[in-house]
A and B are shown apart, each in its own frame.
Chain A
Amino acid sequence: MASNPMQQFSVYKIGPQIKIAGVDLSFTNASLFMVISASIILLFLFVGTKEKKIIPDKIQLIAEMFYSFVAKMISDTAGSKAKPYFPFIFSLFMFVLFCNMVGMLPYSFTVTSHIIVTLIMALFIFIAVTIIGFAKHGFKYLSIFVPNGVPAVLLPLITVIEIISYLSRPVSLSVRLFANMMAGHTMLKVFGGFVISLGLLGGWLPLSFSVALTGLEILVAFLQAYVFAILTCIYLNDALNLHH
């Protein structure tokens, strides 16, 4: 079991089987780590907002930094029209970030390393953005596929490319996060396996790789949460401020 680097991604149910209308909705280790990540976020925000201090303590300061970080990200990429979507982007960023970070703990499970999880988030964003676009601009929203200033000869080709790129957004968004998390954790596991198999004499080199990779993976965990959130902002910007 220990030698299989993909073993860490397997999902198994915890507790009784829950079946609703013939669909297995059992509570699994993936669900458990979603609960853990969400609980950490809520606990962190609870402690961070418990006391309203003019001069904040550390936790409050970090909570406020997250707030200003996401607020700045949204206003920079999507402008002031995106303000109503701030809570969603903030929740999304925090959820992805904390799932990634909790996954960095040994013996834990990385929720975001599952394509189904990232795909559902990406599809939700894609559908929501499309609905917002049509709600705000009606059929004019379709002009997103026709960039300005393109020669008439190239226009059909460009339009087809634009449509494909638009439709591939949920795929690229979900696969990016899923593949990054999976690859990183697989590599960590592989190098961990090397340490064991090479023993006391040869295990030091892969161990140092493991240490370096852990640092890199923490960076990737943050970066991918950031990328996920900022791409959502960019898609939202396309839907809110229709221009090219």
Chain B
Amino acid sequence: MRSYFSLVIATLVINTDLFAAEAGMPQLDPKYWASQAFWLILIFTILYISIAKFYLPKIKNNLDDRENKIKDDVDDANKFKELSESKFKEYEKILADAKKEVIKIQMDSKNILDKDIQSKKEAMEKEIENEISKAQKEINELKRNSLIDIQNISENITSSIIENISGDKLKESSIKAAVEDVSKKKIGEYL
């Protein structure tokens, strides 16, 4: 690329004779060398002093300030992070304790309830048993009474039937014996 351009420039220079004697390279004309050197040194010195004395310290201060600020902020953020982590741990501990307590309360109340239920159940069962035995007794009494009643009724019926058929009045004791005999044989079928 560069060589191509220099070729173009060279052709141009040769063809149009641009580097005529009076043109030349103004850089090589020493007429203003001293002036350029003088102004360069003067201006660069002023530039250097103002940059070194005013601007660079300002920029440096500002950069340092920013770095410190960022560092402080990061430190603060880390501190807060640690704080929040410890708080979170505390919270988790409280939560775990509470859970444990809940389970304990649950267990306790369950035990109490179980005991209660058990005792109530036992009491109930006892009562039921009592009731049952009482009822059984009553039934047995009733059974016996009804048996006696039935026997009496059967005796009466038997005596009246015999009276009606034969016209005789049999002795009560014999009738009773007969009825008892039959009822003893047959009673099992009805009770």
Mask: chain A, 1-30; 1 = CB below 8 Å from B; 0 = not = 001111101110100001000011111101
Q: A48-56, A73-81, A164-172, A225-233: which one contacts chain B? A: A48-56
A91–B51 CB distance below 8 A: yes
Mask: chain B, 3-42; 1 = CB below 8 Å from A; 0 = not = 0011011001000101100011111110111111111110
A15 to chain B, nearest CB (A): 12
B9–A187 CB distance below 8 A: yes
A89 to chain B, nearest CB (A): 10
What CA separation (Å) do A100 and B169 show in the bound complex?
Answer: 165
Which residue among B19, B44, B50, B54 has the maximum number of chain A CB atoms within 10 Å of its CB?
Answer: B44
Cβ 8 A contact of B43, one of A13, A31, A56: A31
B63–A25 CB distance below 8 A: no
Interface size class of B (residues with CB under 8 A): 35 or more
Task: Judge whether B62 is part of the interface by a CB distance below 8 angstroms.
Answer: yes
Residue in chain A with minimal CB distance to B28? A115
Q: A6-B19, A34-B39, A52-B61 are in contact. Are A114 and B47 (CB under 8 A)?
A: no
B32–A26 CB distance below 8 A: yes
A90–B56 CB distance below 8 A: yes
Write out the residue numbers on chain A whose beta carbons fall within 8 Å of the beta carbon of B35.
11, 13, 18, 24-28, 30-31
Task: Judge whether B69 is part of the interface by a CB distance below 8 angstroms.
Answer: yes
> Which residues in window 149-172 of B have CB below 8 A to A?
none
What CA separation (Å) do A85 and B66 show in the bound complex?
Answer: 24
Write out the residue numbers on chain A whose beta carbons fall within 8 Å of the beta carbon of B97.
none
Q: A25-B38, A31-B43 are in contact. Are A9 and B50 (CB under 8 A)?
A: no
New A-B contacts (19) at CB < 8 Å, excluding given A4-B18, A34-B40: A6-B18, A11-B29, A25-B39, A27-B39, A28-B36, A31-B39, A42-B50, A49-B55, A53-B62, A64-B59, A87-B52, A87-B56, A95-B44, A116-B27, A117-B40, A120-B37, A120-B41, A183-B6, A190-B8
Interface pairs (15), CB distance under 8 Å: A6-B23, A6-B24, A26-B32, A34-B44, A42-B47, A45-B59, A49-B62, A54-B65, A67-B56, A68-B63, A90-B51, A91-B52, A120-B40, A121-B40, A121-B44
Question: What 4 pairs between A and B have smallest CB-CB spacing?
Answer: A87-B52, A31-B39, A10-B26, A49-B58
Binding site for A on B (CB under 8 A): 5-6, 8-9, 12, 16, 18-19, 23-29, 31-41, 43-44, 46-48, 50-52, 54-56, 58-63, 65-66, 69
